[in-house]
Structure 1
Amino acid sequence: MKVIKKFLGLMTAGAMSLSSLPFISAQAQDVSKMTPAQIAADMGVGWNLGNTLDAHDGGSHRKMGLESETYWGNPKATKELIDAVKAKGFNTIRIPVTWYPHADANYKIDSAWMSRVKQVVDWAIADDTYVILNIHHEEWNRPTNDNYSAASKELKAFWKQIATEFQNYDRHLIFEGMNEPRNYGGTHEWDGGTTEMREVVNKLDKDFVDTVRATGGKNKTRCLMIPTYAASSTTAAMRALSIPNDSNILVSIHAYNPYNFTMNTGNGATSVFDSTQENELKQLFNNINNIYLSKGHAVVIGEFSSSNKNNTSERVKWANSYATLAKNKGIPIVLWDNNAPVDNYNNGEGHGYINRKTLQWYDTAEPVVNALIKSYGHVKASKEKTISNCKITLSQKSYTYDGNEHKPSVTVSFDGKNLTEGKDYSLTYKGGKNIGDASVTVTGIGDFKGSSTVKFSIDPANLSGYKLGDVNFDNSINITDITLTSAHVKGKNIMSASRVKAADINRDGKVNVTDITRIAAHVKGKKLLPNESVA
């Protein structure tokens, strides 16, 4: 009773708003309304499909077909692989793609390659993850003034085609303009670059943003990731990044930090994650905060990992620290996985986490993955097979009373797949003949547990015998009528045309907060509704 009194007090308060309705759970913010910072925080821990769609013949830069996907020794990506990554708890999948081996002299991308990339993207989107799609291994894109014109032409040609292909995807799909634009094989490749190199990267970043936005559709508001020079996390590179005047930008950096622990195998290398290493990691996140976050710019760490040095327990310590620091700053972190569980060449590239053939997590890597996901604390793992996690749709949600019993057909789906009545669930109907609320209860069978009840209504054929405000036509105006009207206004449960008429107290042709307030005032006895019939 206290809850009802509190509710009525809220409803009749002068500053009442929809968010104050206690019996209706707040609807999760739609991704289309989110800011880049909100999307970044929601992306959580991600995983890279490394050394797969980005594989190429680096020696000759020759044109390749679909066989390039396995050129570096990894099997072709499968839906089962993507599902396994999602089931582990990853909420973002980054799909690195090398495009130039699949394009002609005019940069036109081969349709078969575009279709293959789209297939993998679709698998990840279907698993309700964020997806980062990029241009990877852009060796043609040396950021110098002499090369800028040619690089810009190629970059814009590729992104015009990619953006057009995916222009109708929602904002779960994120475009990353370049991977690590740098002076490949030359001076200053990994030290943050020169002033000239960093300025050219800024120009290329803007070319990318302008090209994508010009393709229209949902690309107008899509979040776009732009890298620093070489995606470097050095302070020089981060401070030099010029962020375009665009409200949907994410800064992209790669941070295999602390380097001596995560990748270095030469002088200064260590396999122990001690306080020195942790302090270096803390400094990284402080730098990111000072340069970007504190100024309102969202950041994605698109690659990070710790190579296997036969030090799983130390890598777990690193993972706990890294994920906690990132979570506290609202920075998503996307784990690099090249399917190399052992650093056979002693070059710091032992970044294998899941066996692409068996779909089992490597023994030396799974504790690291578990630590990352647990410490970050933001997991959208695969849904449990319960009826409450299913989508239940009725063929009809309201009927006009005619003396017959009505039973709408029911469709039940889980993760986009329709279930089978008698195998996955059973149906129990209640009511359906007399005026008022009726319902059907869906109860799980076999793999599916639990139950859910969905209501439908039987409305009178003649509304003249019912009072305004009696929304469910039970000849009484009470808290139930407020609940039904509020659910309709919030879009939770849309009422039938007859019930809308009964709830439209001021008869302005729409049901809104004003009508809820007037019904609540009537129930509380503050101000009675007019003694008028619905019709």
Structure 2
Amino acid sequence: MQNQHPPRHRRRRIGFAVGTPLALIAGGVLAYGTAFGVFGDEARPRAGAATVPADASAAVAAMQPGWNLGNSLDAVPDETAWGQPRTTKALLKEVRAQGFKSVRVPVTWSDHQGAAPGHTIDAAYLSRVKEVVDWALAEGLYVIIDVHHDSWQWTKAMATDHDKVLARFEATWNQIASTFRDAPAQLVFESINEPQFDHADAARKAELLDELNTVFHRIVRTSGGGNENRLLMLPTEVCTPDPQLMRHLAATIKSLNDPRLIATVHYYGYWPFSVNNAGVTRFDATVEANLTKTFKDINDTFVDQGIPVVMGEYGLLGFDHGPGAVERGEMLKYFEAFGHAARTNKVTTTLWDNGAFYDRKALKWKDAGLFRQISSSWTTRSGTASSATVFVPKSGPLKDRTLTLDPNGATFKSLKQGTTTLVKDRDYTLTGNNLTLKATTLTRLAGDRSPGVNATLHAAFSTGVPWRIQVRTYEKPLQANAAGTSDTYAIPTHFRGDVLATMESTYADGTAAGPLDWTPYQQFNTTFAPDYTQNTINLTPAYLKTLKDGQRVKLTFHFWSGTTTTYYVTRSGETVSGSTS
């Protein structure tokens, strides 16, 4: 369905001569604010909006924290094509109310441009982008706009089609710069999202990215108005925080000799943990070390050298693919540590949200507890523990269970169930950081031991968000034989209170079976996914169609209780059969 765009706004074009005092430009480009008035009250600047500091590092600090309007104006071919509703002024008002200081508005221009040589951007689309930007600016938010999925749609061909790609890139940014030349200084331009280049070696890729960033800088700086001093963001290749790629970008920034430049990278964590493959299900020492090193490299390469950094996207890739890929407690630990690392290394962060975090129709967080942890990490640390769940068996006497606390510099204060404070030495003991729930307490909390969560506790610390501990009853899951096809196959599974962690897949000789041939542990949600409502584990076509025809595959399902089950599947042509033995 074709989007309905609002009529293009009329506005005055007000430029600034060379030598205009920076304070006037950095103060919000007052003339543009006056121009807002001809659009009506919905675009009027927010009263008391802060001015933009003249120092770029201070300005970037003022942008913390940030949020991405993902899968909207970057969606292909139009704003609602990827499942998100049309962006509203009310949404941006709520984003500001949640404590965000900046919003990144990814924009894909490809499907809204004419042919060469002009590559004219559709007036209605440009007007729509401007409308969303103006709404965000009116709320007092910093706003980042970019050239987004164009990076893999056409700029990636630059190595083999250099002149045409460069001409289109120049045409695109000439039009964007002209449209927003008089916008307040709170508007930031980002040259290109996750730039990539086919058919080029590392050295050539570095040259091409340097050329794009340099051309972008020249176009914006010579377009007049507020663009003469606007904050500009330049990315590494694919926005990867690799030390060598960051050094290349630092060299480009230094060569431009412009104090209003920002470096940008993205970070989605240690990849096997981020997507749940290779058996990496926990926020362990390896995952944490990767996070710590990444931020240290960012700090050493940019921040300590006077180059401010906006992490334009962060999150966990598995979370975007659906629930369950990253266990909630392990995810909370990741975001807690991430916020601390960003804060101590002076990196402004912009949460990637494609609709997974914030419900843009209901205007509320899908997981309010997760957002509390994320937002708390902007200012302080929170205590965590070795697990967020204590699994208790369905039958038999219960035993004491110990969790290891990680206070993260805070002090343990109390353990509560709702408003009831549990009593130390009666209900639990605390020896160092070992929190032990007594068998009598677990027996009481588990009640009749119905499968699933029986009780929820909260361990409070001197700072941050209390750590939630669920008491969950389980029995070993039961599975049954089933037949299906390589397009649709589900293993009947009665979970009986347990929760799936990961899946191993091997042939008879022990080699990996599935799209990942370097590890038997296949990727959560993209190859297999539990459906707790329907009592099935679904194997995806992306997994099944990679299996060798006629060869039996052993599946080992690992559950968070520590239990495992074994299942066997065989693909014969398009038919799939499965059994428990």
Superposed pair shares fold, TM > 0.5:
yes
- The match for 1:280 is 290
For residues 58-94 of structure 1, the C-alpha deviation after alignment (integer angstroms, 9 at most, x for no partner) is xxxxxxxxxx111122211111221222211111100
Q: Is the 8 A contact 1:143 1:198 kept in 2?
A: no
Task: Give, in angstroms, the shift of residue 245 of structure 1.
Answer: 2.1
> Of 142, 145, 158, which aligns to 2:156?
142
Indicate how the Cα distance of structure 1 residues 112 and 240 shifts in structure 2: closer, same or farther if over 3 A, else same: same
1:217 has 2:225 as partner: yes
Q: Secondary structure at the match of 2:350?
A: strand
Indicate how the Cα distance of structure 1 residues 271 and 125 shifts in structure 2: closer, same or farther if over 3 A, else same: farther
- The match for 1:171 is 185
- The match for 1:208 is 216
- The match for 1:371 is 373
Whole-angstrom CA distance in 2 between matches of 1:286 and 1:370? 26
**Residues 255-334 of structure 1 mapped to structure 2, 5 A cutoff:** 255-262=267-274, 264-267=275-278, 269-306=279-316, 307-308=318-319, 309=325, 311-334=327-350
Q: Is the 8 A contact 1:90 1:373 kept in 2?
A: no
For residues 234-271 of structure 1, the C-alpha deviation after alignment (integer angstroms, 9 at most, x for no partner) is 12211222212211100111111222222x3432x523
Q: Which amino acid aligns with 1:101?
A: D
Whole-angstrom CA distance in 2 between matches of 1:187 and 1:210? 26
Whole-angstrom CA distance in 2 between matches of 1:265 and 1:187? 30
Whole-angstrom CA distance in 1 between matches of 2:183 and 2:74? 22
Q: Which amino acid aligns with 1:336?
A: W
1:354 has 2:358 as partner: yes
**Residues 335-354 of structure 1 mapped to structure 2, 5 A cutoff:** 335-339=351-355, 352-354=356-358
Task: Give, in angstroms, the shift of residue 180 of structure 1.
Answer: 0.9
Task: Give, in angstroms, the shift of residue 214 of structure 1.
Answer: 0.9
Whole-angstrom CA distance in 1 between matches of 2:281 and 2:276? 9
Q: Secondary structure at the match of 2:148?
A: coil
Whole-angstrom CA distance in 2 between matches of 1:303 and 1:150? 29
Q: Secondary structure at the match of 2:338?
A: helix
> Of 45, 48, 54, which aligns to 1:34?
54
> Of 161, 166, 186, which aligns to 1:152?
166
Q: Which amino acid aligns with 2:186?
A: H
> Of 81, 88, 100, which aligns to 2:91?
81
Whole-angstrom CA distance in 1 between matches of 2:160 and 2:245? 20
For residues 412-440 of structure 1, the C-alpha deviation after alignment (integer angstroms, 9 at most, x for no partner) is xxxxxxxxxxxxxxxxxxxxxxxxxxxxx
% identical aligned pairs:
34
Q: Secondary structure at the match of 2:188?
A: strand
- The match for 1:95 is 105
- The match for 1:442 is none
Whole-angstrom CA distance in 1 between matches of 2:161 and 2:66? 33
Task: Give, in angstroms, the shift of residue 187 of structure 1.
Answer: 6.6
Indicate how the Cα distance of structure 1 residues 149 and 245 shifts in structure 2: closer, same or farther if over 3 A, else same: farther
Task: Give, in angstroms, the shift of residue 203 of structure 1.
Answer: 0.6
Q: Which amino acid aligns with 2:81?
A: Y
> Of 117, 125, 128, which aligns to 1:113?
125
Higher RCO, 1 vs 2 (CA within 8 Å, ≥6 residues apart): 1
- The match for 1:51 is 71
For residues 357-399 of structure 1, the C-alpha deviation after alignment (integer angstroms, 9 at most, x for no partner) is 2112112xx3232222222129xxxxxxxxxxxxxxxxxxxxx
Indicate how the Cα distance of structure 1 residues 187 and 275 shifts in structure 2: closer, same or farther if over 3 A, else same: farther
Q: Is the 8 A contact 1:143 1:201 kept in 2?
A: no
Q: Which amino acid aligns with 2:309?
A: V
Task: Give, in angstroms, the shift of residue 149 of structure 1.
Answer: 2.0
Q: Is the 8 A contact 1:312 1:367 kept in 2?
A: no
Whole-angstrom CA distance in 1 between matches of 2:141 and 2:105? 12
Whole-angstrom CA distance in 2 between matches of 1:38 and 1:171? 13
Unaligned runs of 5+ in 2: 1-47, 320-324, 381-581
Q: Which amino acid aligns with 1:289?
A: N
Q: Is the 8 A contact 1:174 1:222 kept in 2?
A: yes
Q: Secondary structure at the match of 2:155?
A: coil
> Of 232, 240, 252, which aligns to 2:264?
252
Whole-angstrom CA distance in 1 between matches of 2:291 and 2:199? 26
Unaligned runs of 5+ in 1: 1-27, 58-67, 340-351, 379-535
Q: Which amino acid aligns with 1:204?
A: L
Q: Is the 8 A contact 1:102 1:110 kept in 2?
A: yes
Q: Secondary structure at the match of 2:377?
A: helix
For residues 302-360 of structure 1, the C-alpha deviation after alignment (integer angstroms, 9 at most, x for no partner) is 00112332522221111111111111222111111111xxxxxxxxxxxx101122112
Q: Which amino acid aligns with 1:376?
A: W
Q: Is the 8 A contact 2:276 2:326 kept in 1?
A: no
For residues 476-512 of structure 1, the C-alpha deviation after alignment (integer angstroms, 9 at most, x for no partner) is xxxxxxxxxxxxxxxxxxxxxxxxxxxxxxxxxxxxx
TM-score (norm 2): 0.53
Indicate how the Cα distance of structure 1 residues 112 and 208 shifts in structure 2: closer, same or farther if over 3 A, else same: same
Q: Secondary structure at the match of 1:69?
A: coil
Q: Is the 8 A contact 2:144 2:187 kept in 1?
A: yes
User: Is the radius of gyration larger for structure 1 or structure 2?
Assistant: 1
Indicate how the Cα distance of structure 1 residues 29 and 355 shifts in structure 2: closer, same or farther if over 3 A, else same: closer
For residues 462-483 of structure 1, the C-alpha deviation after alignment (integer angstroms, 9 at most, x for no partner) is xxxxxxxxxxxxxxxxxxxxxx
Whole-angstrom CA distance in 2 between matches of 1:285 and 1:143? 31
Whole-angstrom CA distance in 2 between matches of 1:231 and 1:200? 14
My pick for the range that moved more, 305-314 or 93-102, is 305-314
Whole-angstrom CA distance in 1 between matches of 2:50 and 2:138? 17
Whole-angstrom CA distance in 2 between matches of 1:115 and 1:312? 40
For residues 77-127 of structure 1, the C-alpha deviation after alignment (integer angstroms, 9 at most, x for no partner) is 111221222211111100000112111112111111011111111111111
Q: Secondary structure at the match of 1:74?
A: coil
TM-score (norm 1): 0.57
Q: Which amino acid aligns with 2:378?
A: Y
Whole-angstrom CA distance in 1 between matches of 2:158 and 2:123? 31
Q: Which amino acid aligns with 2:281?
A: S
Indicate how the Cα distance of structure 1 residues 310 and 195 shifts in structure 2: closer, same or farther if over 3 A, else same: closer
